[in-house]
Amino acid sequence: MAIERVTVTAAVVERDGRFLLTRRLEGTHLAGHWEFPGGKCHDHESLAECLAREIREELDADVFVHEEILATAHEYPERMVALHFFRCSLLTEPRPVLGQLMRWVLRAELGSLALPPADDELVRLLTGSPGL
């Protein structure tokens, strides 16, 4: 059986020393984990277009997509994820529209939250920790 391969983008939005995170909904892959908001790319989209669309769909907000901070890959038992993290600026205020929780998290708290394993390298980068 072939493993599913997906390309995912995620927004790293920082405001007043806190990062915007959302919690994955029940019934989804990695339900209950906190994550940097974003989602799967469609075949015809650029990474920036994908990220802007996902933020509109999930948080009813517009973002300006800046530079890519980190590109990484992680293999889960059921899929291989190519993950692209971008620094983003909010152009409008986010509000969760899919029933997910949303919160602003201090940099120092990132390592204590349940985030997907694919986010480990980003958390180390943001917190300056050599290995969590």
CATH code for the domain of 12: 3.90.79.10
The domain tally of the chain equals: 1
Q: Is the whole-model pTM more than 0.85?
A: yes
Local confidence pLDDT in tens for the 132 residues of the chain? 678 899 999 999 999 989 999 998 887 777 788 999 999 999 999 999 999 999 999 999 999 999 999 999 999 888 899 999 999 999 999 999 999 999 999 999 998 999 988 899 999 999 986 543
Could you tell me if residue 114 is inside a domain? Answer: no
Report phi then psi at 48, rounded to 5.
Answer: -65, -40
**In a domain? residue 57:** yes
Domain that holds residue 42: 4-107
Q: Is residue 124 part of a domain?
A: no
Q: How many contiguous H segments (helices) and E segments (strands) does the chain have? A: 2, 8
R_g of the chain computed on alpha carbons = 14
Residue 15 lies in a domain: yes
Q: Rounded to an integer, what distance in angstroms lies between the CA atom of residue 100 and that of residue 97?
A: 7
- Determine contact, residues 20/37, Cβ cutoff 8 Å: yes
- Is residue 32 assigned to a domain? yes
Q: Does 112 map to a domain?
A: no
